[in-house]
């Protein structure tokens, strides 16, 4: 007993799954791009892309860690945002909920970038006798690993704060109050 309702529900589910995938891919790409841009702007002593083109492994390690740290922090928001695309909701509720979710995601991204910049500033204060950016420019892998460990550690802690923020406001409930 195969009905048209089952077929339409299945097609709608596939369409929503594809939409979730597209939203995730777009947000992942934007996160990587923005993370690299923000980090590049915050490190005036070094041109990361130029250093990577020269084969500077230390800079590549650190930049990869920056991207992973930001992605780890905002993943909570992306997961929440893609979950908002649901066959249980009306299109209007999904649209409002996604706008709220994008706002939450941007706050998570800002928190991640702020935390990374703060971590680098604190590291600079703690390691008074080491100019990290100068060492990275020279290809000092030990400095890159130390900085990477600190950035990853901070991203683990910041992630829980971002998760709390994302979970504090239910975008679907907010959207259903509007509609």
- What's the rounded Cα separation, in Å, for the pair 140 and 142? 6
- The pLDDT tens digits along the chain (179 residues) read 567 777 777 887 788 788 878 877 887 888 788 878 877 887 778 888 899 999 999 999 999 998 888 888 888 777 777 777 777 777 777 777 778 777 877 887 888 888 888 888 888 888 888 888 899 999 999 999 999 998 898 888 888 888 887 777 777 777 777 76
Single out the residue of 108, 110, 131, 105 nearest to residue 120, CA to CA.
Answer: 131
- For residue 2, the model assigns a pLDDT of 61
Q: What is the dihedral of CA 87, 92, 95, 98, to 10 degrees?
A: -70
Residue given tokens 């500077």 in the structure block: 56
Output the CA–CA distances (angstroms, integers) from residue 72 to 23, 24, 48, 104, 149, in the order listed: 17, 13, 21, 15, 14
Contacts of 58 (CB under 8 A, 6+ apart): 135, 136, 138, 139, 140, 141, 143, 144
- For residue 12, the model assigns a pLDDT of 78
Contacts of 34 (CB under 8 A, 6+ apart): 70, 109, 113
pTM of the model: 0.76
- For residue 51, the model assigns a pLDDT of 92
> What is the full DSSP assignment across 44-91?
TT--HHHHHHTT-HHHHHHHHHHHHHHHHHHHHHHHHHHHT--TTS-H
């Amino acid at each position: 007993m195969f009905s048209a309702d089952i077929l339409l529900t299945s097609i709608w589910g596939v369409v929503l799954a594809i939409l979730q995938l597209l939203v995730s891919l777009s947000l992942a790409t934007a996160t990587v791009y923005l993370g690299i841009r923000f980090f590049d702007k915050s490190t005036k002593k070094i041109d990361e892309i130029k250093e990577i083109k020269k084969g500077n492994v230390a800079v590549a390690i650190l930049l990869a860690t920056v991207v992973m740290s930001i992605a780890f922090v905002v993943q909570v928001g992306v997961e929440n945002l893609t979950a908002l695309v649901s066959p249980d909701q009306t299109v209007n509720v999904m649209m409002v909920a996604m706008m709220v979710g994008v706002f939450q995601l941007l706050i998570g991204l800002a928190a991640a970038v702020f935390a990374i910049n703060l971590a680098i500033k604190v590291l600079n204060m703690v390691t008074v006798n080491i100019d990290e950016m100068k060492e990275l420019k020279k290809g000092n892998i030990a400095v890159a690993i130390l900085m990477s460990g600190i950035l990853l550690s901070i991203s683990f802690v910041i992630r829980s704060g971002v998760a709390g923020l994302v979970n504090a406001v239910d975008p679907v409930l907010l959207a259903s109050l509007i509609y």
